[in-house]
Amino acid sequence: MISYVTVGTNDFARAEGFFNELLVELNVAQSMKTDRMIFWADESQGVGFSVVKPLDGEPATVGNGVMIALSAKDKDQVDRAYHKALSLGGTDEGEPGIRGLGFYVAYFRDLDGNKFNIFCAKP
């Protein structure tokens, strides 16, 4: 299955601040940083997430139809992380609620426009 996901950023420091504050809501900490990449990992699940300055030197762009799902332990954690994302300058793409086959999900975009959802399977 998926081990980690990477998105590009055009403002490295701003992305770092956004995800440091957001991912703490999901009990995930920054685990590595270089001059062009920051990596956060959930060691207990063996998964990670990173933001990078594009290697080709061109501006980072958002993929149409691309979305990253972040797993939460329960409905309250979904709500907290969603509201944290918005308080940090993220934009709403769908308020928390039951979707599909009973998943509790909230949708937002980060400061670079990348789309995310935060969900739990058993609200």
Pairing of strands 91-99, 37-42: unpaired
pTM of the model: 0.88
What pLDDT is stored for residue 80 in this prediction? 97
Q: How do residues 12-53 score in pLDDT, each as one tens digit?
A: 999 999 999 999 999 999 999 999 999 999 988 889 999 999
CB atoms within 10 A of CB 99: 14
pLDDT of residue 96: 98
103 Cβ contact partners less than 8 Å away, ≥ 6 residues apart: 119, 120, 121, 123
What pLDDT sits at residue 1? 63
pLDDT tens across 63-85, in order?
878 899 999 999 999 999 999 99
Q: What does the pLDDT read at residue 43?
A: 85
Each domain of the chain, given as residue ranges in start order, spans 4-52+67-120
- Does the domain spanning 4-52+67-120 belong to CATH 3.40.50.300? no
What pLDDT does 41 receive? 93
